[in-house]
Homo-oligomer: A and B are copies of this chain.
Amino acid sequence: MQNKQLKLAARPNGMFKASDFNLVVETVPELSDGQVLVQVIYLSLDPTQRIWAQTDSYLPAVKIGATMRSFGLGVVQQSKNDHFNEGDIVSGMTGWQDYLVSDGKGLEKLPRIPGVPLDAYMGPLGMTGITAYYGLLDIAAPQTGETLVVSGAAGAVGSIVCQIGKLKNLRVVGIAGSDDKLEWLTTELGVDAGINYKTENVYKALRKAAPNGVDIYFENVGGALLDVVLTQLNIGARIPLCGYISAYTATEQTPGIQNLSVLISKRAKIQGFLVLDYYDRALEAVQEMASWMAQGKLSYKTDIRQGLEHTPTIINDLFTGGNTGKLLVQVSPEPS
Name which of A226, A270, A273 has the most chain B CB atoms within 10 A of its CB. Answer: A270
Which residues, 234 to 280 on A, are CB-close (under 8 Å) to B?
A: 235, 241-244, 247, 253-258, 260-274, 277
Check A268 against B257 for contact (C-beta < 8 Å). no
A312 to chain B, nearest CB (A): 23
Roughly how many angstroms separate A258 CA and B260 CA in the complex, as a whole number?
Answer: 11
Check A244 against B258 for contact (C-beta < 8 Å). no
Check A241 against B258 for contact (C-beta < 8 Å). no
Check B264 against A241 for contact (C-beta < 8 Å). yes
Complex partner residue of A258 from B254, B264, B268, CB under 8 angstroms: B254
Q: Which residues of B contact A254 (CB under 8 A)?
A: 258
Check B274 against A272 for contact (C-beta < 8 Å). no
Q: Which residues of B contact A241 (CB under 8 A)?
A: 260-261, 263-264
Check B270 against A263 for contact (C-beta < 8 Å). yes
Which residues, 45 to 70 on A, are CB-close (under 8 Å) to B?
A: 51, 57-58
Roughly how many angstroms separate A274 CA and B262 CA in the complex, as a whole number?
Answer: 11
Complex partner residue of A260 from B235, B255, B261, B270, CB under 8 angstroms: B270
Roughly how many angstroms separate A235 CA and B222 CA in the complex, as a whole number?
Answer: 20
Roughly how many angstroms separate A129 CA and B253 CA in the complex, as a whole number?
Answer: 39
A208 to chain B, nearest CB (A): 21
Check B273 against A256 for contact (C-beta < 8 Å). no
Q: Which residues of B contact A255 (CB under 8 A)?
A: 256
Complex partner residue of A256 from B227, B266, B274, CB under 8 angstroms: B227
Q: Which residues of B contact A256 (CB under 8 A)?
A: 227, 255-258
A47 to chain B, nearest CB (A): 11
Check A222 against B272 for contact (C-beta < 8 Å). no
What residues of chain A have their CB less than 8 Å away from a CB belonging to chain B? 51, 57-58, 222, 226-227, 235, 241-244, 247, 253-258, 260-274, 277
Q: Which 8 A-B pairs have the closest CB atoms?
A: A256-B256, A263-B272, A244-B261, A264-B272, A269-B271, A58-B265, A257-B257, A57-B265
- Listed A/B pairs (15) with beta-carbon separation below 8 Å: A57-B265, A58-B265, A227-B256, A244-B264, A247-B261, A253-B258, A257-B257, A260-B270, A264-B272, A264-B274, A267-B274, A267-B277, A268-B272, A269-B271, A270-B270
Beyond A57-B265, A257-B257, A265-B274, 8 additional contacts (C-beta under 8 Å) are A58-B235, A222-B261, A226-B260, A241-B260, A257-B260, A260-B270, A263-B270, A270-B270
